[in-house]
Amino acid sequence: MARTVTRVVVPIILVTSIALLLQGHNFPGGGFIGAVLTATAFVLVYVIFGMEFLQAQVLDVSSDDSEYHELVSGYRWVFGAGLALAVASGLVPVFLGAPFLTQGVLFLEHLPLYGELEVASALAFDLGVYFAVVGGLLTILGEVGNE
């Protein structure tokens, strides 16, 4: 029963996490809570199905012991890339003569299905936070799961 519920709930969790990530600059939500939900989906799959299933079926990594540490180093890389993106998104305005973390907005008009779409530079910061938190939490999960 738990496996069936997990198969239904994990996609809902992931869609909700992406929705929270994308609305974070206008409404409550953002990179942190979206990342926590994404990591929760991974934890749920890990607890219900096991690390071998998570590696082989979800992340498409072979499940022998030597690959396990490469998986954790991949999580660390995601953390580092997210941290770099968050810092870079704050420094770009400085190089353009504005204060650190100044937000800019771009309106994309005449889009099919959407009409107009607002893209804020805060999305880059939220993406950085998202990847940093997902990478950090999955690194912890991988290290604790190895014990």
Which residues are within 8 A (CB) of 50 and not within 5 positions of it... i.e. 6 or more apart? none
Percent over 90 (pLDDT), the chain:
44
Among the listed residues 100, 78, 83, 104, the one whose alpha carbon sits nearest the alpha carbon of residue 91: 100
Q: What average pLDDT score do residues 119-133 get?
A: 91
Q: What average pLDDT score do residues 69-88 get?
A: 88
**pTM over cut 0.75:** yes
Percent over 70 (pLDDT), the chain:
91
pLDDT in tens, 105-121: 889 898 888 788 788 88
pLDDT of residue 57 exceeding 80, the answer is no
The pLDDT of residue 145: 73
Among the listed residues 88, 117, 110, 112, the one whose alpha carbon sits nearest the alpha carbon of residue 100: 88
